[in-house]
Structure 1
Amino acid sequence: MQTIVLLVLWVLGTSLVLPDPDTAGEKVTEVPIPCSKGCTCLHDDYSLELNMYCSARNFTQIPSDMPTSTHSLWLDGNLFTSLPTTSFKDLTNLDFLNLQSCQLVTLDHQAFKGLKSLAHIHLEQNRIRALPGTIFQNTPNLASLSLHNNQLTRIEERLFAGLSHMWLLNLGWNSIAVLPETAFHDLQGLRELILAGNRLAYLQPQLFQNLGELKELDLTGNALKVIKANVFVKLTKLQKLYLAQNHIVTVVPRAFVGMKSLRWLDLTNNRLTSLHDETFLGLHSLHVLRLSNNSITGIRPRTFRDLQYLEELRLNYNRIRALGERIFEGLGHLEVLELEHNQLQEAQVGSFTGLSHVAVINLSGSCFHSLPDQVFKGLSKLHSLHLDRGCLTSITTQAFTGLTGLRRLFLQHNNISVVENQSFVDLVSLLGLDLSFNKLEVLTTHTFSGLKNLEYLLLSNNECGQFLQNGTKQLLPRLRYLDLRDNALTTIIPDFPENMEKLLLSGNRWKCDCSALPLRNYSMRNPLVIPRQVETHGEGEEPDTTITIYNNITCISPQGLAGQDLRDIDNKFFHSC
């Protein structure tokens, strides 16, 4: 059977090899693909459409001999400063045009004449200051237009007239201060609009009224000061709204009414000082709300009452000093609550009422001296609680009552000197406890009562003179990792579980007499548990940065052994033990 085989050959050869069925077995002839000089032309493997690649060729003019069948054209990275009239005449099949990073400044109003099929234009990262108001009238089928990272200062009122097929418009990172109120009125099919990084200080009431299909709107990094009512009222299908890094001081009540599909709202890095109890009215589909890095001083009850499907609430880096009762009531689906670095000083027993599904609460950087009894009661699904870098001086018996599902508890970098007996007794699921960088002196069996599932215990940089004198195995049977560095320990009973993986002991005051013999024997039998050095991640370091910890057991006494590692002392010193 004779077959016709279609092959796409070398990038520079750019030819089609077509075996002639009448001359099978004879030498084939090559049919070259027509292509502009200095460019590379290839047929798509699947569609057989012609793609022409002329990227970064230092062209100063548009090639004049482009194949009329060209479907996609890459001209990015060249040295065009202007596009004259009919730059792409006869390219009636052109679907994709890339002109990014070409140093373009001016474009003739007929530059795209004849491009009836053009669907995608990339003009980003040029030096365009203005566009002729009729330039896109020749591209009625335009679907995506990228104009970001130019020097645009204004947009002509009819620039996008007739572009009803467009689904993506990127005008970000220009210098646009004002938009004509009807600029987007013909873009009824638009799905994504990016206006980030401009100088917009005001949004006209009718600006977005015809964008009923819009799903994502990015206004990050502008100069907006007030979010007024009805600006977004017609955006019933919008799912993501980004308003971060503006100068917003006020969001008027009911500003987001009508946005029944909104799932993500970002108001990070603004100047909000308060939230009205109707600010978020009607946002029944909202999943993520970010309010970090504002100046919010308090939360009123019922502020979040309509957000029954909210999963993430970020309020970190504000000025909230007190948490009142029931301020989060109604957030039955909330999973993550971020409140770190607010210098919180007060909370009440009912502050977290209603958070039946919350999994993570971050209160880092708060300034509680002690926690109210049962303040976390009812949070049975909480698995991570961050209370580090605060002002805590003591942990009371009922501080963590009811947290039976808690897996990780972070208490490092406080001033804790007292942990009352049975304080952790309800934490039956706890796997990791970090109490490093505190002022603990005494740790007894009652301190860790109930922690039968604990695997990681970090106690470095405290003032502990002893650690569980009755041994560890029975109290903490699943312990795998124990960090006791930089305390005041002189001896320790090495009664650890068989599954122990790592024990860090450097920076203590080891007394290397007969009382140290059990530790010496344990360390000699288990060199992997007490290694001479450990590669780990330093606190605050980049994730891919490792540091070396030297796990020395350095003797302080007796005088003749001072400065030596317990593991290096000759056996004869222990013969009399």
Structure 2
Amino acid sequence: MEATEAYTFSTLTNLKTLELWKNKLRRVPSKLPSNMEVLKLGNNRIQVLCEADFEGLAKLKVLDLQNNKISIIQSRVLSSALRLESLILDSNRLELLTGPLKLSCLKRLSMQNNRLSSLPLNFFSFLPSLHFLSLSGNLFFKIPQELPPLLWSLKMDKNLITELKIKDLNYLRHLSELTLSENHISTTNNALTLSNLSTVDLSKNQLKAVPTGLPSHLRMLDCSHNFIRKITLQELSGVCGLKHLFLEYNNITVIDLDARQHCLQLSDLALEQNHLSSFPKGLPDTLVRLDLKGNNIKDICKETVKNLKRLQVLNLRSNRLSSLNSEVLAYFPRLRRLYLDGNPWNCTCDLIKIRDLLTAKQMEIKSGDCATPAYYQGETWLSSTKILNNCGYNIWHGMKGKAFLESYAKVSLNHDSSNIDTPTDYEDYYDYDIY
């Protein structure tokens, strides 16, 4: 549908919701009924908005115009929509707003994936009720000034911001969610001290250290894909409420937390693809998920893991482990998912003993293949009958190999074998729900 005739909807006086998604409309339908509350015109070809388009729509609450071709919005174009609460203008060609939008009831404004680099002076002075603002995917070099004081969520990822300043955010006392990923931020200048700040995303920036001055009630911090080299208590001291910390894809070689003395309550810690040569020390005993994939860890000492009794997911893929200590595994009574593939395993009979301990726990395991000795290369040590045959006598102190294999077969039948070294739709499983 490319157009609607005048008065097409005007006689439908009780019409409250109109959705005309994915058509070929070039303008907003005219003479819409005055009882209209929800109008969705996304994925069309609308280029221009006129004040007359929304004349009489005093009850309109939701207006969705995403994925059109709008480049300019005049300040009075929505002056009739006095009760508008949600305005979505994502993925248009917006370059200019000629003035403020006087929408005193507006709570949600999304203009992401456009071409905006600035906003009109006093733009937010006429949006006193705004709680959610998304300017992601634009051309802003800094955070706009004089944001609404009641703002709860601010999304400015995929812009050109290079640094934060205290004056950018310090008056936003209600701000809870801040998204600044995929910018060029190298420093935050203690601008994240807001008392109600709960979630901060600074991934894919140019940080060389974890920001300092974080609020004590912060629950999620994402600093992945940066240039951080060291994690110390200087950055995390006092952040007692932190549950989820994402630091994957950095250059971290040192972690000095001593979490127990500083009340860290981490549930999820992601350290994937860093440069750690040993299992981190001082991790909090509250950890449920720990990702150490793609580091240089060669062994695991019981001193570093003895307090991790709540751990359920442990990812050690693609490190330099060649063996496991059975005493270490005893410290993980709640472990449900263990990823070990991609390591250079030395498949001795001692390692096969570990296999028995792991399968007894009925967990999901990715064990990986043998690197040594040469005659076991390519064998999956968790399930290889070749290795089991050769080690059958050693495991049970003289039990005949045949008897061992028979008992192994019974265990395999009783155990859900789909959880062991089977392909799945995901590479690594993490459920990072914030609770």
TM-score by length of 2: 0.77
Alignment partners' CA distance in 2, 1:387 and 1:371 = 9
Q: 2:369 aligns with which of 504, 507, 523?
A: 507
Cα 1:190/1:477, change in 2 over 3 Å:
closer
Match of 2:77 in 1: 207
Larger fraction in strand: 1
- Counterpart contact for 1:273–1:295, Cα < 8 Å: yes
The superposition leaves residues 299-322 of structure 1 with CA deviations (integer Å, 9 ceiling, x where unpaired) of 221423344333332222222223
Match of 1:296 in 2: 161
Q: 1:484 aligns with which of 327, 330, 340?
A: 340
The superposition leaves residues 373-432 of structure 1 with CA deviations (integer Å, 9 ceiling, x where unpaired) of 331222222222111122223323558973632111111222222446x332xx121122
Secondary structure, in 3 states, of the residue corresponding to 1:446?
helix
Q: Is residue 2:229 matched to residue 1:369?
A: yes
Cα 1:172/1:486, change in 2 over 3 Å:
closer
Q: Counterpart of 2:297 in structure 1: which amino acid?
A: L
- Counterpart contact for 1:291–1:316, Cα < 8 Å: yes
- Counterpart contact for 2:182–2:202, Cα < 8 Å: yes
* Displacement of 1:145: 4.2
Alignment partners' CA distance in 1, 2:371 and 2:87 = 61
Match of 1:458 in 2: 315
* Displacement of 1:507: 2.0
Q: Counterpart of 2:203 in structure 1: which amino acid?
A: E
Q: Counterpart of 2:59 in structure 1: which amino acid?
A: G
Cα 1:401/1:248, change in 2 over 3 Å:
farther
Secondary structure, in 3 states, of the residue corresponding to 2:302?
coil
Cα 1:531/1:254, change in 2 over 3 Å:
same
Match of 1:534 in 2: 421
Cα 1:385/1:400, change in 2 over 3 Å:
farther
* Displacement of 1:470: 4.9
* Displacement of 1:146: 4.3
The superposition leaves residues 54-103 of structure 1 with CA deviations (integer Å, 9 ceiling, x where unpaired) of xxxxxxxxxxxxxxxxxxxxxxxxxxxxxxxxxxxxxxxxxxxxxxxxxx
Which runs of structure 2 are paired with 1:50-69 in the superposition (5 Å)?
A: none
Which runs of structure 2 are paired with 1:166-315 in the superposition (5 Å)?
A: 166-227=36-97, 230-231=100-101, 233=102, 235-252=103-120, 254-276=122-144, 278-282=145-149, 284=150, 286-315=151-180
User: Does 509-518 or 382-391 show the bigger shift?
Assistant: 509-518
Alignment partners' CA distance in 2, 1:193 and 1:328 = 33
- Counterpart contact for 1:339–1:362, Cα < 8 Å: yes
Match of 2:194 in 1: 330
Alignment partners' CA distance in 2, 1:542 and 1:175 = 40
Bigger radius of gyration: 1
Match of 1:160 in 2: 31
Match of 1:127 in 2: 2
Secondary structure, in 3 states, of the residue corresponding to 2:109?
strand
Secondary structure, in 3 states, of the residue corresponding to 1:409?
strand
Q: Counterpart of 1:415 in structure 2: which amino acid?
A: H
Cα 1:375/1:227, change in 2 over 3 Å:
farther
Identity %: 24
Which runs of structure 2 are paired with 1:50-129 in the superposition (5 Å)?
A: 126-128=1-3
* Displacement of 1:435: 0.9
* Displacement of 1:463: 0.8
Alignment partners' CA distance in 2, 1:480 and 1:152 = 53
* Displacement of 1:449: 4.4
Cα 1:515/1:275, change in 2 over 3 Å:
farther
Match of 1:58 in 2: none
TM-score by length of 1: 0.60
Match of 2:292 in 1: 435
Q: Counterpart of 1:344 in structure 2: which amino acid?
A: L
Alignment partners' CA distance in 1, 2:326 and 2:297 = 16
CA RMSD of aligned residues (A): 3.7
- Counterpart contact for 1:460–1:487, Cα < 8 Å: yes
Match of 1:423 in 2: 282
Secondary structure, in 3 states, of the residue corresponding to 1:271?
coil
Alignment partners' CA distance in 2, 1:449 and 1:538 = 32
Q: Counterpart of 1:345 in structure 2: which amino acid?
A: K
The superposition leaves residues 189-225 of structure 1 with CA deviations (integer Å, 9 ceiling, x where unpaired) of 2122222222222221212223221122121222212
Cα 1:469/1:256, change in 2 over 3 Å:
same
With a CA cutoff of 8 Å and minimum separation of 6, indicate the structure with the bigger relative contact order. Answer: 2
User: Does 387-396 or 491-500 show the bigger shift?
Assistant: 491-500
Q: Counterpart of 2:174 in structure 1: which amino acid?
A: Y
Alignment partners' CA distance in 2, 1:435 and 1:344 = 20
Match of 2:383 in 1: none
Question: Structure 2: any 5+ residue segments left out of the alignment?
Answer: 374-386, 431-435
* Displacement of 1:540: 4.8
Larger fraction in helix: 2
Secondary structure, in 3 states, of the residue corresponding to 1:337?
strand
* Displacement of 1:462: 0.8
Q: Counterpart of 2:340 in structure 1: which amino acid?
A: L
Match of 2:394 in 1: 517
Question: Structure 1: any 5+ residue segments left out of the alignment?
Answer: 1-125, 544-577
Cα 1:519/1:365, change in 2 over 3 Å:
farther
Secondary structure, in 3 states, of the residue corresponding to 2:314?
strand
Cα 1:337/1:515, change in 2 over 3 Å:
farther
- Counterpart contact for 1:188–1:213, Cα < 8 Å: yes
What number of residue pairs does the alignment pair up? 399
Alignment partners' CA distance in 2, 1:331 and 1:281 = 17
The superposition leaves residues 239-277 of structure 1 with CA deviations (integer Å, 9 ceiling, x where unpaired) of 22221121111134642223233232222222222114x
Cα 1:329/1:433, change in 2 over 3 Å:
same
Q: Counterpart of 1:187 in structure 2: which amino acid?
A: L
The superposition leaves residues 8-48 of structure 1 with CA deviations (integer Å, 9 ceiling, x where unpaired) of xxxxxxxxxxxxxxxxxxxxxxxxxxxxxxxxxxxxxxxxx
User: Does 442-451 or 455-464 show the bigger shift?
Assistant: 442-451
